[in-house]
Chain A
Amino acid sequence: MAEIEAFTVLFPEQRISQLKQRLQQALFPDELPDSGWDMGTPLSDIERIAKHWASKFDFQQAAAQLNELPQFKTKIDCEGFDPLSIHFVHLRSDNPNAIPLFFSHGWPGSFFEVYKIARQLTRSDNGGPCFHVVAPSLPNFGFSDGVKKRGFAIEQYATVCNQLMLKLGYERYVTQGGDWGEPPASLKSTQPGSRFPLPDGATPRELQGAQRTAWFLDEGYGYNLLQSTKPQTLAYALADSPLALLAWISEKLHDWTDNYPWTDDEICLWVSIYYFSTAGPAAATRIYYEMAHDRNGKYVPKDSMGKGFEGGVPGTQKITGAYLKKDHGTGVKIGMSHFPMDIQVLPSLYTNTLGNVVYEKEHERGGHFAAHECPDELASDLREMFGALDLRSA
């Protein structure tokens, strides 16, 4: 396949020195004493990490770390849009019968989230199934192209991801991504501290999860609403101030994880993938806007079912978040891994409404970036789930 090109991550020298210069000229705000993380990323953290990024962070070494896994680029068509050059990690198992696994990152993550689990997933000596791992940079993220037109929403992302797998020769594959769910209509009552009804006999995980979800909706939702409505206004800050980008992302790296001991190097690497992204740091937030609006730019309320995907040409219908949370009888088998410090932690009764849930695992620790925080647990879950299934059947 001549049109799948090998790709090597390179941080351009000129841009690195521009970044360093810009960081050295940064202006810092004050901070109210005793605010901790309550009001946002603390000043001392930003000052320290900015200094590290400007003077200690080794871009060559970071690029070498990213280049430890084989990466490629290929053009993918998407109806209604220009073809996009998609960057992806593709790590094949030695075992030709390995299961093709598509790994999707989110925001503010990247393809790098797969790095701690990729190699172990491809190995066939773990007493479980092994996988061929495909982990792209989604359009508008990492080293994939950015989209230039409005309307690139979930259907388009799904189309591109599916086309990529098909192009790599994987007609049938499995996927790994985040966790959602929807309260069944039968539940009416609401406990204090919970933003949704809790089932009778809710487990400690579910009770704690309700509090965590309430925190997310009450204190941690600003980024979501802003990115869903005015991503362009935000874009100016993210483009012009590396400090703004650092603060915007590192707040989530802290708030959404389970006391994960981020090193300054790790944070700089995560943020650098945004800073040096092909589409620019602002483009990645547009997915929120496109999810929240229909093709005519009209706001789509969170509970709107939209028109769904009725087959046929992708992009002709509108898939909303609410639509995705319902079981549409496709029969696709679903596995759920629950991590306590994820941002929406829902009772099993809810998550089971997604569809044909055949596997569920609760974890004692871990948060939103499970593959990065708890790679062994997640890899074990994947082997457990897929090991128990006969994937050759329909």
Chain B
Amino acid sequence: MADITPFQINVPDSQIEDLKTRLSLAKFPDELDQAGWDMGAPLGDVKRLVAYWKDKYDWRKAEAEMNKFPQYTTTIQAEGFEPLNVHFVWRKSSVENAIPLLLVHGWPGGCWEFAKMFDKLVDGDGTNDPAFDVVLISLPNYGFSQGTKKRGFAIEQYAETCNKLMLKLGYGEYVTQGGDWGFYITRAMSLMYPQHVKATHLNFDFGSAPTWSQHPLLSLQHAVTPYSTREKKGLARAQWFQEEGSGYRTEQGTKPQTLGYGLTDSPVALLAWIYEKLHDWTDDYPFTDDEVCTWISLYWFSKAGPAANVRIYYEAIHSWNKPSEGKITRERVAEYIPHVKIGYSHQPAELRPVPKTWVKKLGNIVFDRDSEKGGHFFAYEMPDQLVKDLRDMFRKGGGAYGVVRGKKGYKEVAKL
């Protein structure tokens, strides 16, 4: 394990000063009367956040908090690509047979979305609750991981990078948690590495109605069961996302470079671009200005630069659209994947909440829980709930108990 190097975040003073200078020179657009949130991030909010970011926000304080977590970097190389320096947070539980757990973020997230869960998961007492060895990866192109300089780094490559990291840390078998791109990546890992990935927990609803030809029983169930109130609301939310909330995805999926100029040259542009999602994609989460500024700063100060993170959309979507054998497609991850046990947590403010029968298509669902609250950034909005869900999924009697050989998450009871 020679090249697993401890890491501390240390953004140079010059970068912090440069940010403040840019914020002080910011030029703002106008706004139409009564635009509210309909047309995008409101002017009043953005101006307030920019002023706070410039004058009151203390990056060094946030940095120090993050540096309390044990961070490392190591080199991982996906086949056909250059070696990349990958950043991650990692702690082994004091419970010897803790379950190795990799949590994978998406966009516009980061490994720090899981920070509030980290210690609780690792410090499960191994008697009443299972314990985990927890790895929070910063995906290539995100956070303090390096970005790739080659075209074609798509879902398979992210999956390969994640798997190689876990193997490098000594985990031949492990489990995963993910939403957003973390959903696609961990599903791809389930397909590519069934010998390594034993269970996946997902917090991202995805899928389509079961068809008669492929899922006759589910299709029948879907046909005869009326949608619950929750499911109807979920479909309305999904419609909103499709109609009103998909511009970012289409642009990032086709012209990320054009978008990248604004995200790189203007911290205000970056702030608005991401802040709109922090509002629209959460369940009225009461972000403080500090929280928002830390979130955006992680993108502004990212190692690969603010333009790199959106490329995943372009690469994934173009890879999916190229019909060729063996490629992980969007359709494939929405269909049944065998061998891997699946746990699901559903939030009412997720982007495309889907009816229950649709979810069952995805595989062997051993844990399924509806949350009364929460949105897309579940781990950040409701960390205690997600900790509970993971513990319940993997505890004794839980659907995924004992999936990893020899690592059930509990203290060994001395046999007399």
Q: Which residues of A contact B (CB under 8 A)?
A: 22, 25-35, 39-43, 46, 146-150, 218-223, 225-241, 243-244, 246-248, 251, 279-283, 286, 289, 293, 297, 299, 301
Contact = CB atoms under 8 A, between A and B. Distances in A.
A247 B261 contact: yes
A235 B253 CA distance: 20
Given A39-B256, A150-B32, A247-B258, A28 B264 contact: yes
Interface string B12-35: 000000000010011111111111
B412 interface: no
A39 B33 contact: no
A31 B257 contact: yes
B331 to A, nearest CB: 17
B265 A243 contact: yes
A243 B307 CA distance: 13
Contact of B265 (A235, A239, A244, A279): A244
21 contacts: A27-B265, A29-B263, A32-B257, A40-B255, A40-B256, A41-B257, A149-B34, A229-B243, A230-B248, A231-B40, A232-B31, A232-B41, A233-B39, A236-B41, A236-B46, A236-B268, A240-B28, A241-B265, A243-B261, A244-B269, A283-B30
Given A236-B46, A240-B28, A222 B250 contact: yes
A301 B244 CA distance: 11
Interface stretch (B162-170, B208-216, B271-279, B375-383): B271-279
A195 B14 CA distance: 51
Interface string B95-118: 000000000000000000000000
B266 A29 contact: no
B271 A230 contact: no
B311 interface: yes
Given A33-B149, A35-B151, A150-B34, A241 B257 contact: no
Contacts of A228: 247
A83 B149 CA distance: 52
Interface string B301-326: 00001111001001000000000000
Contacts, number: 187
A227 B268 CA distance: 18
Given A28-B264, A41-B258, A297 B269 contact: no
B42 interface: yes
A40 B243 contact: no
B228 interface: no
Interface in B28-54: 28-35, 38-43, 46
Contact of A40 (B31, B32, B151, B259): B259
A127 to B, nearest CB: 45
Contact of B257 (A40, A149, A293): A40
A28 B271 contact: no
A223 B259 CA distance: 10
Q: 3 nearest interchain CB pairs?
A: A244-B262, A232-B40, A40-B257
Contact of B248 (A40, A226, A236, A279): A226
A298 to B, nearest CB: 10
A147 to B, nearest CB: 8
A46 B261 contact: yes
B261 to A, nearest CB: 4
Contact of B33 (A150, A221, A226): A150
A282 B263 CA distance: 16
A219 B254 contact: yes
B30 A280 contact: yes
Nearest to B256: A39
A289 B31 CA distance: 13
Contacts of A231: 39-40
A232 B245 CA distance: 13
A148 B38 CA distance: 15
B35 A232 contact: yes
A315 B158 CA distance: 51
